[in-house]
Amino acid sequence: MSKPTHLSEADLTAFGQALDQIRDDVMSDLGERDARYILRVLRTQRASEVAGRALLFAGLLPPAWLAGTSLLALSKILENMEIGHNVMHGQWDWMNDPALDSATYEWDNTCPSAQWKHSHNYVHHTFTNIVDLDRDLGYTLLRVSEDQAWEPRFLAQPGIALLLAAFFQWGVALHDLEFERLGRDKSWKDMRAQAGQILAKVRGQLLKDYLLFPTLAGPLFAPVLAGNLSANFTRNIWSFLIIFCGHFTDEVEMYDRAEATDESRGQWYLRQLLGSSNLTGSVPFHVLSGHLSYQIEHHLFPDMPSHRYREIAPRVQALCAEYGINYNTGSLARQAGGVARRILRMSLPGRRRRRVTNTAADFAEAA
């Protein structure tokens, strides 16, 4: 395995302090420039939604349909990734703008914000990549770590992964129900209350995308419906891809409970870092990914305004180099390949032979 074994406690403390310094530098510098950025994204998203829906009303012409659907998909991707996800992390709370308030923001997704903040912000970001605690590890559907016991159902997981990609927002919506806890420490009553919130959210989206807008289009009911379906579908595939590339690539590390108890700040940072993987690409690509292409930086500092990840990434990477820690990054194609390999490999029983690298000797050799 490539969890570093060459770092002393003092190294980890210094490493943690260096990261704290990066965080402080950015957080004390937030202001006008950041506000301008997110407001611009917000405007772009709303404008592309309005334009997309308007074009779809001219949807009999194939180019208009295509342009309308693309703009709507763009708007949904921006809204879920760069706006919704990051707003709900509290990244923009400092602006005191009610439209960007983590407490009240509701994203365009079938998952209610309140439940997302629990399953994602709390469970996933606290217990990142700890098998049995982080429910995002395979979303209780897939086996993504050799530390998860194999069951015959996992033979079907390549197919299940594809289905999950297509219906990703629905998977996300059901995620916080935590079916597996039912009858143990979760009551049917709690479950019903949560299901009620999900239904309200689902009703809102179905009504808007699949009934009201198509109906308003009159004779163009079918193309508008198809456009909305395609936009939601595109957003699903895209977010699935970005999120899976952020945590289930080849080199990403998984942890067991014992490894992650009583962590120091430095160890916590280290787990977040080794449990995440980045994607390289252009600025528009990063924006469309909600800067989750900087998954490492996001996991280190989940409440830092996203566009700053781009700025601090070189500092984080240099720090990793200095301490001999693997900084997992690569192109979308490379990382997606790694994800596919992992999903396929884990569908079969047996344990992977772990590489042993990044020991003190490796580090000395590399240096």
Q: How far is the CB of 216 from other proteins (least distance, A)?
A: 8
Backbone angles phi, psi at 130, to 5 degrees: -95, 115
Considering only residues 16, 20, 64, 94, which one is a binding residue for other proteins as defined by CB under 8 A?
94
Window of 111-119, 180-188, 264-272, 282-290 that interacts with other proteins by CB under 8 A: 111-119
Q: How far is the CB of 22 from other proteins (least distance, A)?
A: 20
Window of 199-207, 255-263, 310-318, 330-338 that interacts with other proteins by CB under 8 A: 199-207
Q: How far lies 104's CA from each of 93, 96, 100, 197, in Å?
A: 11, 12, 8, 15
Considering only residues 47, 163, 333, 366, which one is a binding residue for other proteins as defined by CB under 8 A?
47
Cβ pair 234, 77 in contact under 8 A:
yes
Beta carbon nearer to other proteins, 46 or 315: 46
Considering only residues 122, 179, 188, 285, which one is a binding residue for other proteins as defined by CB under 8 A?
122
Considering only residues 5, 13, 121, 357, which one is a binding residue for other proteins as defined by CB under 8 A?
121
Cβ pair 176, 111 in contact under 8 A:
yes
Under the binding rule (CB under 8 A), the answer on residue 207 touching other proteins is: yes
Beta carbon nearer to other proteins, 32 or 365: 32
Query: Would you tell me the crossing angle of helices 32-56 and 62-77 to the nearest 10 degrees?
Result: 150
Q: CA–CA separation, 209 vs 351, rounded Å?
A: 45
Under the binding rule (CB under 8 A), the answer on residue 97 touching other proteins is: yes
Q: Which residues contact 113 (CB under 8 A, 6 or more apart)?
A: 84, 88, 105, 106, 107
Under the binding rule (CB under 8 A), the answer on residue 208 touching other proteins is: yes
Under the binding rule (CB under 8 A), the answer on residue 148 touching other proteins is: no
Q: How far is the CB of 274 from other proteins (least distance, A)?
A: 25
Under the binding rule (CB under 8 A), the answer on residue 33 touching other proteins is: yes
Token code pair at residue 168: 């990703």
Under the binding rule (CB under 8 A), the answer on residue 159 touching other proteins is: no
Extended strands (E) in the chain: 278-279, 329-330
Under the binding rule (CB under 8 A), the answer on residue 90 touching other proteins is: yes
Q: Which of 43, 156, 32 is nearest to 94 (CA)?
A: 32
At 255 the three-state DSSP class reads strand
Distance between alpha carbon 214 and the CA centroid of its chain, in Å?
30
Cβ pair 302, 273 in contact under 8 A:
no
Under the binding rule (CB under 8 A), the answer on residue 117 touching other proteins is: yes
Distance between alpha carbon 20 and the CA centroid of its chain, in Å?
23
| CA atoms lying within 13 Å on the CB side of residue 207 | 6
Q: CA–CA separation, 279 vs 81, rounded Å?
A: 15
Considering only residues 8, 10, 62, 98, which one is a binding residue for other proteins as defined by CB under 8 A?
98
Under the binding rule (CB under 8 A), the answer on residue 199 touching other proteins is: no
Size of the site for other proteins (CB under 8 A): 37
Under the binding rule (CB under 8 A), the answer on residue 170 touching other proteins is: no
Under the binding rule (CB under 8 A), the answer on residue 34 touching other proteins is: yes
Length of the chain: 367
Under the binding rule (CB under 8 A), the answer on residue 95 touching other proteins is: yes
**Binding interface with other proteins (CB under 8 A):** 30-36, 43, 46-47, 50, 90, 93-99, 101-103, 106-108, 114, 117-118, 121-122, 201, 204-205, 207-208, 212-213
